[in-house]
Amino acid sequence: MADDVTQKRKPELLDPILDLAINNGVIDAQQAAELKEEHERSGKPVRNLIVDMGFLGEEELLSLLAGYMGCELVDLTTTEIPPHVRSAVPAAVARMYNVVPIAVQPGSVTLATSGLVDPLATDELMFVLARDITFVLSREVDVQNRVNEYYGDDSATVADMLSNLESVIEKDESLGLGETVDEKAIAEQAGAAPVVRFVNLVLYQAVKDRASDIHFEPFEKEFRIRYRIDGALYEMQPPPRRLALPIISRVKVLANLNIAERRMPQDGRIAISVAGHQVDLRVSCLPTQFGESVVLRVLDRNTVSLDVQNLGFPEDVLDMIMLDIEKPNGIIIV
């Protein structure tokens, strides 16, 4: 995941796949309302619900998406992908964006994916891979299987990315130099490809491990990044201290915060797509003695049930809660 996060700074009011299904007569307004209600209740992706609720089969949905995107359908189970093609996309990028390279030409690469691709994600992929990109569509399970087959266990990804960062720092003396306050210089550092890939790796790893918080904490001689999982904080292998400012600035760019302001607290949010599903991040920046400390609260709707009936209350307690919810005011102490 070391690579980029499909970022949506301004989430759309209507899911693009739901919008596409309505416009193509797959579902009517009432069915769309039912589907949206189920999506909000369960947190399941809209594309999965369209299939699960019987509106379309998976192949039909893929054909609809391919027609909208103007791209081909490719069966990955019968497609041979040589090693030199696989190596065109780093493992972290493949996992983050859920893509598989199937062809490489001078200056371009063809990627198989399983759903609609956000324009911002396309731009980030072109930037990170330094190539033009053509997409084809394949079944979601086939894309995931190929990613797992070709790129293996992702447990070493963080160490690999940090090793890459160290080598880049040695070659690029300007990256992470000093606590510069020049906004242009900060923006250039925050947009450097290794920094972009590393931040997205951190976000991917947090979602994969079902972390509730991500903490970026600068100290005098080190820079810590920690995840909160089931109430306990776990520290990942720390990046070089000199990269604290570029990394934190990258997070602030994603959250649409002022990267030049480092003396006042700031709050923002990031909406991203990680390996094909939506995640909301609430961002809080707080000045400290050694730089800004940043905390991200993670809400992955695919792993969090928002239905009160799934919280495990006894039936009599649940009935009491539902009655109390209807009251115009009051408080429930748990």
pLDDT band at 330 (very low <50, low <70, confident <90, very high): confident
Please state, in angstroms and as integers, the Cα–Cα distance from residue 259 to each residue in 76, 187, 251, following that order.
42, 8, 9
CA 83 to chain centre: 27
Count of all residues that appear for the chain in the document: 334
pTM of the model: 0.57
CB atoms near residue 50 (< 10 Å): 24
On whether the CB atoms of residues 283 and 220 are closer than 8 A, the answer is no
> What is residue 327's predicted lDDT score, i.e. its pLDDT?
84
- The Cα 77–Cα 74 span in angstroms is 9
User: Which architecture does CATH list for 83-151?
Assistant: 2-Layer Sandwich (3.30)
CB atoms near residue 207 (< 10 Å): 23
Residue pLDDT, tens place only, 103-123: 999 889 999 998 888 787 788
- The Cα 183–Cα 28 span in angstroms is 49
The CATH number fitting domain 158-172+183-300, selected from 3.30.450.90, 1.10.3720.10, 3.30.70.20, 3.20.20.140? 3.30.450.90
- The Cα 186–Cα 183 span in angstroms is 5
- The Cα 2–Cα 165 span in angstroms is 11
Residue pLDDT, tens place only, 258-291: 888 888 999 999 887 776 667 889 999 999 988 8
Structure tokens that stand for 43 in this block: 């947190």
Q: Where are the domains of the chain?
A: 16-56, 83-151, 158-172+183-300
Residue pLDDT, tens place only, 216-259: 999 988 899 999 988 888 888 788 888 888 889 999 998 999 88
